[in-house]
C-alpha cells in the first residue's frame, strides 16, 4: 500500500513533540460515563470492560497503552468522538489496570494477545454487532497488530485494525525510552510498574522474583529481565521483545490496518516506521505525520477538543466499512 501523505498540521506550539505528547494528559478534562462489565478468564482471573453505547451496529474495541486504562485521556477522547459518530465503544482495561489488582501474580505485557482474544469471543457470544474495529494506542496498538497477524482465523466481523503511536519493534523503542530526552516518561512508567510489581511479589511470596532487582530497575530492560521475562516464560528481556513485537506479524495482516506514527514521536525508533513492509502488504496503510508526538496529534490550544487523530480514525473506519 502506498505510504500516505498526512494532512496533520498543528499550531506552532504543538510542533514541540513533548508538549504535543503531554497536552491531553495535563490540560484537557473530558469526561465519559461507562457501563462496566467484568468477565472471567480461564486462568481464574478477570478483565474489566468499560462500554459506552449508542445503540449502534458497529463496535470499536479500544486498547490502551502501557500503564493506561479506560480512564486515559486519549481513550476518553476517542470514545467521545466515536460515540458522536454513532459508534459503540468498548474500552479495555488490561489486567491490573482497572483500579483493582488482578488475581494472579502476572498481569499483562506488550505481546499478550490471549486476553484480547477472550474479549472478542465474549463480544461475539453476547452482543450482536455487524462490524467490529480494533483500535490500539501505543502498547495497545502493538497488541492489536500482533493479534491480527497471530490469529488468522479471527471473526469476519472484524473489519479493520488501527494502531496509533505504536512501538512495533519493542527492543528499539525500549532503547529509545532509555535515552536522556525521555527520562521523565520512563521514570513515570517505572514508578507505577515497580509499585505494582512489589505489591504482587509480596502477595505471592512463593516466587523466584528478586525484590532487589525490581527496586533497582531503572529501564524497561532491567524491569523486563527482572519480572516480565520470568513471569511469562521468556529467556530474558530480548527474547520477550523479539517474540512480542508486532513488526514480525505485519506481513500476515490480511484485513485493512492503519498505522499512524508521528515522525517526531520520541518513543519510537527507526524500526517503528515499517515503510518496506507496508509497501509489500496491500492491507497496511502507513501514515507518518511530521509532527504529533506520542499519542498527541493536538491542533490548537484555542479548540475545546483536539480531535484530529479521532477524526482520522473515523475517516479510515468509514472508508473500510461503508
Report pLDDT digits (tens) over 298-317: 998 867 677 999 999 999 99
Q: What pLDDT is stored for residue 154 in this prediction?
A: 85
Q: What pLDDT is stored for residue 1 in this prediction?
A: 61
Give the containing element (helix H, strand E) for 49: strand 46-52
Closest CA relative to residue 257, chosen from 282, 276, 275, 277: 282
Class of domain 12-169+249-321: alpha beta
Q: Where are the domains positioned within the chain?
A: 12-169+249-321, 170-244
Q: Are 129 and 88 in contact (CB under 8 A)?
A: yes
91 alpha-carbon distance from chain centroid: 11
Q: What pLDDT is stored for residue 206 in this prediction?
A: 84
- Residue 56 gets the label, from left (phi > 0), alpha (psi -120 to 50) or beta, of beta
Residues in the chain predicted with pLDDT less than 70, given as ranges, are 1-2, 302, 304
Amino acid at each position: 500500500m502506498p505510504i500516505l501523505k498526512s494532512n496533520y498540521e498543528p499550531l506552532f506550539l504543538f510542533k514541540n513533540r513533548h508538549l504535543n505528547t503531554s497536552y491531553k494528559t495535563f490540560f484537557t478534562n473530558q469526561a465519559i460515563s461507562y457501563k462496566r462489565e467484568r468477565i472471567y478468564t480461564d486462568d481464574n482471573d478477570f478483565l474489566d470492560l468499560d462500554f459506552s453505547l449508542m445503540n449502534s451496529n458497529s463496535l470499536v474495541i479500544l486498547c490502551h497503552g502501557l500503564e493506561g486504562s479506560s480512564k486515559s485521556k486519549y481513550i476518553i477522547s476517542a470514545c467521545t468522538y466515536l460515540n458522536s459518530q454513532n459508534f459503540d465503544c468498548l474500552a479495555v482495561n488490561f489486567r491490573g489496570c482497572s483500579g483493582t489488582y488482578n488475581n494472579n501474580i502476572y498481569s499483562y505485557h506488550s505481546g499478550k494477545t490471549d486476553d484480547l482474544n477472550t474479549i472478542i469471543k465474549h463480544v461475539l457470544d453476547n452482543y450482536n454487532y455487524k462490524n467490529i474495529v480494533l483500535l490500539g494506542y501505543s502498547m495497545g496498538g502493538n497488541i492489536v497488530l500482533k493479534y491480527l497477524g497471530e490469529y488468522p482465523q479471527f471473526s469476519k466481523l472484524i473489519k479493520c485494525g488501527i494502531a496509533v503511536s505504536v512501538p512495533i519493534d519493542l527492543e528499539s523503542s525500549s532503547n529509545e525510552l532509555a535515552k536522556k530526552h525521555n527520562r521523565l516518561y520512563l521514570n513515570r512508567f517505572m514508578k507505577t510498574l515497580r509499585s505494582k510489581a512489589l505489591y504482587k511479589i509480596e502477595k505471592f511470596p512463593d516466587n523466584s522474583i528478586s525484590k532487589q532487582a525490581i527496586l533497582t530497575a531503572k529501564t524497561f530492560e532491567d524491569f523486563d529481565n527482572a519480572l516480565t521475562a520470568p513471569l511469562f516464560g521468556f529467556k530474558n528481556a530480548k527474547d520477550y521483545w523479539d517474540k512480542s513485537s508486532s513488526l514480525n506479524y505485519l506481513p500476515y495482516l490480511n484485513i485493512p490496518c492503519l498505522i499512524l506514527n508521528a515522525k517526531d514521536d520520541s518513543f519510537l525508533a527507526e524500526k517503528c516506521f515499517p515503510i518496506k513492509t507496508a509497501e509489500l502488504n496491500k492491507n497496511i496503510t502507513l501514515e507518518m505525520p511530521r509532527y504529533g508526538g506520542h499519542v498527541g496529534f493536538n491542533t490548537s490550544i484555542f479548540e475545546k477538543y483536539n480531535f484530529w487523530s479521532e477524526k482520522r480514525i473515523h475517516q479510515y473506519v468509514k472508508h473500510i466499512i461503508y
